[in-house]
Chain A
Amino acid sequence: MDTALIPDGVKRCPLPKFAIGLTLVGLVLAWGVYAMLLCWIKGLNQTNMNNAYGFALWIWADLAVIALGGGAFFTGFLKYIVGKDELKNIINYAVLIGFICYSSALLILAIDIGQPLRGWFIFWHANVHSMLTEVAFCLSCYFGVLTIEYIPLILENKQIDKVPFFHNLSHNMHEIMAIFAATGAFLSFFHQGSLGGVAGVLFGRPFGYREHILIWPYTFFLFTWSAAACGPCFTICITKLTEKISGKKLVRDNVIELLAKISGWMLLTYIIAKSVDTWYWATHTAPEMGLHVSHFYSNNALYGYWILFTELVVCGFVPAIILVTNGGRKNKFTLISAVILAAVGVCLNRWVMVLQVLAVPVLPFESWELYMPSWQEVATTILPVAYGIILIMISYRYLPIFPQEKELNPVE
């Protein structure tokens, strides 16, 4: 029924099967939308946040999806600025994943603020000293860039492409895409960093606070670095998952391995820098505030040294070493394991930099505060996942996302 919209030379599942899949994910989406409306209509009392936990699951989700969406800017940077031309075969998908991640982040922020109708105050009454202001500006601008990068892909739909204006527009947009990729990379370096700065500047919170280079705390650089390292890993994860679900090879191994190799080196250098940062914080910054490192990892039911070990070693050094070795990248199991671990690692880092920062007692007569999200928070966090799956399903079905799909899967 919808064959006229499906790209030439590729095979897609029957429409009823597609519709059933879409409906199932749509139900999850509807659940999330219901929770979102509850939060907007009844207020944030629908959450389990409290005066000790002003930042919670949503802010973590925000930081995590932005880091995972980092594959878009870094792959774009590698293709258009560095000149790694092979990456043209995965850049469309990286852009789509980035678009989903960033639109999700904006949606979560819109739910998270207590007065959503005043959201524009962040631009109107901007405090230029606040890291969050920089995040808001760069995030919005970069979302605009991602939209511009996504539009030519939509215009390549078989039917839209028949219209000469759209065909020419798409062609011309492709021609100047390097400018947008460069702009996107510039904006991303700043907002990824500013997100790191959100915790790093909190001199009242010893677990998050870091020393500075000029006005930027070390977390500023570490967040950008980790997003550039782990974002492409997430792109590879989702590409492999799409291949598994569709039952087709969509991107050649050499493309995946090139991206994995670059990510591996980024991850290895990042995790070394992160280890040095952790050591300096534990031996200098925290003691100067009168706190031994054990203060941050004991006397509570959740946060122990295991979390530090998992972040640095299991989800840091292990995947980095796999990805920088040729054998590790060639082996399907180790490659998949490494990219999953890297993606989990960056999410774990964002978790501790949001939730553990608030959980640790600062006043000597206070104790740890742990928190469990409400179902409304969980549902609204799953909402963007469902939205992302739907957008991927529709884009994959109707748009030529994978340039190598045709030659890798010739239709009889």
Chain B
Amino acid sequence: MKQAQNHTKNYLYAMAIDLDKCTGCGACMVACMSENNVPFRRDETDQLLSMKWLRVYKLTNGKAYPDHDVCYLPRPCMQCAGQHEGHSPCVSVCPATATDYDQNTGIVSQIYTRCFGCRYCMAACPYHVRLFNWWDPVWPEGMEKMLNPKVSVRMRGVVEKCSFCFHRFQQAKDRAYAKGKRDIDEQDYQTSCTQACPAGAITFGDLNNPSHAVTQLVKPDHKHHGRPQAPHAFRLLERLGTNAKVYYLSSREWVRKMGDNYLKNEKQAGSH
């Protein structure tokens, strides 16, 4: 097994979201829920109980008209690497190894059948991407026939989160194998939110591959945990050392500043 892993190519999947392009339409959220069999309830008014692997935040600059400005920020799982690859906030704390950092892809997995619902990972995640199944999933009559057979549904009492549509990666590998290819191409593996975004705001790919669009957009500094070197690129809560693999792009300074916490007398750091 170890030998087989050594022969596996190391990918580092990441996402870049251009906030200047995002219109806040929510197509990414719908696509994500549909693709990943994310359950919903008749009453979804309480957002703190709502299951959304990808949530779109509405940010404002807090200024009055005519200087008022709005930005929509889609937030999937950040797939954090932590200070050393794999020391993600959630992975390091899970007592039952029910969440893991895949060294071959950089994706943080969630093993639903092993999770016993202690919710320590939820307490550890500063992005609130982890969601608990407070209820068993119930779909409207007939809808269960339309569920994605590639993704298991989750039961009450376990935690779930965005997986960067990991099943699509597995499918892409299978297709590549069937075709006799050793590697998968950029377009072979794309997340559902990336494909659903009508504005083309989301770019997904392998940071270890310089030809991938995401790498060119964010220009990661691999010596410094993938810190973005591209102008206007930033990551959420860079200072905490979570080393997220979701990058944001914005030409607006106030938007970039919303990505992290700063003391009053501090200048914005992180992005360029």
Contact = CB atoms under 8 A, between A and B. Distances in A.
Given A44-B134, A114-B157, A204-B124, A289 B261 contact: yes
B177 interface: no
B227 to A, nearest CB: 16
Given A122-B96, A127-B95, A364-B258, A51 B128 contact: yes
Interface in A109-158: 112-116, 118-119, 121-122, 124-127, 129-133, 136
Interface residues of A, number: 51
Interface string B138-179: 000000000000000001111100000000000000000000
A54 B132 contact: yes
Nearest to A50: B48
Interface in B117-142: 117-120, 122-128, 130-136
B49 interface: yes
A50 B131 CA distance: 9
B96 A365 contact: no
B118 A132 contact: yes
A217 to B, nearest CB: 12
A359 to B, nearest CB: 11
Interface of B: 46, 48-50, 57, 59, 73, 83, 89, 92-98, 114-120, 122-128, 130-136, 155-159, 236-237, 239-242, 257-264, 266
9 contacts: A50-B48, A55-B123, A114-B119, A114-B133, A115-B115, A129-B93, A202-B89, A364-B257, A365-B57
Given A130-B93, A362-B237, 17 more contacts: A49-B134, A50-B46, A54-B122, A54-B130, A54-B132, A114-B158, A115-B157, A122-B95, A126-B97, A132-B93, A202-B123, A203-B241, A205-B126, A290-B263, A292-B264, A362-B240, A365-B258
B122 A51 contact: yes
Contacts of A202: 89, 93, 123-124
A52 interface: yes
Given A44-B157, A202-B124, A289-B239, A115 B117 contact: yes
A343 interface: no
B117 A364 contact: no
B238 to A, nearest CB: 9
A26 interface: no
A287 interface: yes
A289 B57 contact: no
A114 B236 CA distance: 30
A206 interface: yes
A253 interface: no
A369 interface: yes
A198 interface: yes
A358 interface: yes
Nearest to A114: B117
A364 B268 CA distance: 13
A201 B92 contact: yes
A177 interface: no
Q: Which 3 A-B pairs have the closest CB atoms?
A: A114-B117, A114-B157, A54-B122
Contact of B49 (A50, A113, A127, A364): A50
A287 B126 CA distance: 17
B95 A206 contact: no
Interface string A41-72: 00111000111111100000000000000000
A233 to B, nearest CB: 28
Residue from B97, B133, B264 whose CB has the most chain A CB atoms within 10 Å = B97
B96 A126 contact: yes
Interface in A157-209: 198, 201-206
Interface in A74-92: none
A363 interface: yes
Contacts of A206: 240
Nearest to A55: B123
Given A132-B118, A206-B240, A127 B96 contact: yes
Residue from A113, A291, A358, A364 whose CB has the most chain B CB atoms within 10 Å = A364
A284 B82 CA distance: 21
B265 to A, nearest CB: 10
Contacts of B242: 203-204
Contact of B94 (A45, A130, A290): A130
Contacts of A290: 239, 260-263, 266
A122 B115 CA distance: 9
A59 B52 CA distance: 25
B125 A363 contact: no
Interface in A286-325: 287-292, 295
Contact of B119 (A54, A289, A363, A365): A54
Residue from A122, A125, A205, A363 whose CB has the most chain B CB atoms within 10 Å = A363
B155 to A, nearest CB: 8
Contacts of B241: 203
Interface string A95-120: 00000000000000000111110110
Contacts of A358: 123
Interface string A12-56: 000000000000000000000000000000011100011111110
A363 B258 CA distance: 8
Contacts of A119: 116
Contacts of A43: 134-136, 156-157
B158 A115 contact: yes
A289 B269 CA distance: 12
